[in-house]
Structure 1
Amino acid sequence: MEASFKHKLPLTLALLSFLHFSGIISINAQGLSKHGTLNKNISALLVFGDSTVDSGNNNFVSTIFKSNFPPYGREFPNQIPTGRFTDGRLFTDFIASYVGIKEDVPPYLDPTLSMRELMTGVSFASAGTGYDPLTPMLTNVIPISKQLEYFRDYNKRLESATGKQRTKNLINNALFVVSAGSNDFVVNYFALPTRRKSYTVSSYQQFLLQHCKELIQGLWDEGARKILVAGLPTLGCLPAVITLFSNSSTVIHDHLQRRCLEQYSSVARDYNRLLQNDLNFMQLSIASQGARIFYLDIYEPLIHMIEEHESFGFDETNVGCCGTGYLEASFLCNPKSYVCSDASKYVFWDSLHPTEKAYYNVFNGTIRPIIDLIINN
């Protein structure tokens, strides 16, 4: 039976005014590197998706969905607000540092990038985007299809600078990371009636998965052979979702009433199960050609941090560190906002995005073992 998702018009309008995606703090990324020059199997890190992996491309896009201002970046080296939607690094930065490629992954649209920076990896991701072509239109950000175009342009730039064979080898040995889908549900399907008029939850999941598979196929056609695809987080535990979609208005003024919404988290679990099945099928079809596709579980480590928060050193699990923590994100989390004194006590930095500490825990818990597997061939 399909669940019924209600939307509250005033809160939905508030959501559209800013909403977007998709145990250590102030972590020394250099200290993370285990493999360094011993890594011979990963040449670069190339990233696609939404705000969970956007390192600053929206800085160069005409959209209000930016984070290149304080207090974002408070724990980043030199406290630089790079355009990452968190207080420090993203999980993709930890991957890059761990394999010894670079300390953090820059945005592709940064015009100051050197050829060396390009060759070791960039992010094509854009906060606010999704697999559904309608989702980026709502926020004027970079569609997934455009990210793939940028990657093709990237290939041509490398070929011009280093030659076709060297570029081919670099791409074949690069690690690709894809992380998207949250905005499609939170900003689009749950919040607006457009897609709900045409799709049930299950048919919309299949619609998104088809676009996800098209992206993977497009990356494959361009030479990608090591691809990591992230599932959805616990959607019902995002502070903004709790605020916007709870049946009781008390969640806005009564902190003790704020709890994860199972109805929304179950959608994420179902989607993740379908995604894993599709990725397994794709893996079987291309394994003989030397390709590997991995599913990245974001849901389980995040829900584990929330449910067992004390063991991770977290005090707050259902509000963000910035502002009230109920709705603030992007420009609503700004230099004038109240900010908690210790973000390491919070799972979420703003109302949608995890803290650097939470991202590190996700990396360390589920991603690092996969990276070790790839490096060890």
Structure 2
Amino acid sequence: MAAQVVMGEGRTQAQNATWKKAEPVIVAGIPTSSLIGSIFIFLMEEVSIVFDIGSDWCRSGPGGRNNPTLAVPTVIGYQAYPENPGPSNPKKRKIVGFSNLHLLKQIPTEFPIQRGQITNWDAIEAVLKYSYDRLGIKTENHPVLLTGFLSNPVKDREKLVEIMMETFQVPSLYIGNHAELCLFGSGFLTGLVLHSGSGVTSITPVCNGRVKNLSNKIFEMAGLDVSLLLHKALFKKEMNLVSISQRYDMDLAKERLCYVSKHPNQKESVIDPMSNVPGVIVLPDGKIITLSKELRTYPDMFFWTPQHDVPNLDLCSEVIDTVMKCASEEQATLFSHVVLSGGNTLFSGFPERLLWELNAIRPHWVPSEVVSRPNRIYLSWLGGSILSCLSTFNTQCLTNKEYQETAQYVAL
């Protein structure tokens, strides 16, 4: 599911002035009772830049802030130059950016991240370059923290390091774990991160700030699957996965009209207020579509709902199975800190449904709590923003000098 609000691209003069000041920033949205909730974070002279690269959006901005200052669609278009020499050797330019959305809807496009995996590195490099240009900063002047990847094979991490060090010449780099940063951005060091974005849904236990890799789960069922089912039901044909118009139309319909049934066995409208909202929406091209209640509750697919003729994930059982695989002394804290992250968790009724099911089948000796922060669409970015301002951050980074020395050693 795409982000609900797109940040403005570029910065104002006032924002430029703010960058130059080393003023304390209090991170909002974090409970004061947490370990990091009352910490004052000071901007470094060479402020770090935080990039959160997702399947739909690349969010970026200076560390120490509460929100990313820029959001760029993670999609690239290819437009032929007027002096195109012919089909045998076409010359094309890359089109990137929300300001070019009107062009992207008219030309061939590509989404370079599929199911949490990068499939086109040139496209990712173009998105990063565009982001740097819009931020108006010199790449060699600012350390970088990267996050957003749910699956990080070693070769992918090595490629990311290569691009940032050689193409952008950043002074230092840290690649953060998505789940760890989501939890950090929520104000906890131990908890269970349930993330559901466009391409994948994941359940990741984190204890004392470190992921328990043997217990985490990743499912290839996410917001894109809701869109595919919705488009097929509405238009009686498969959605074109490389059509930015079709994908954004379905995102708009989902965000405005779809919801999760809070209590699927009860039909009273007081239980699900969204059911009283008319299921009609006008798409950007002027087309009017109407969604029946069955279509509007397609996001129920994330929970066990047999009455729908759609796949089901049964998130609640998967959460419980994940927690029970962890050490017994960790289970109570994990159940009490189930942190939601990602666009699909913004569906009305999602947190309530998860809590209702957890309370119904969880072990009786532990309480459960679902943490649904209003800013959960970019929790990993916020966690990176906090981490990049800690006094220990620089010691955790790989410097460009260290990278170059290693590269020379390998070459020998």
Fold shared, TM-score > 0.5 on shorter chain: no
Q: Which has the higher strand share?
A: 2
Of structures 1 and 2, the larger Rg is shown by 2
Higher relative contact order (CA 8 A, sep 6+): 1
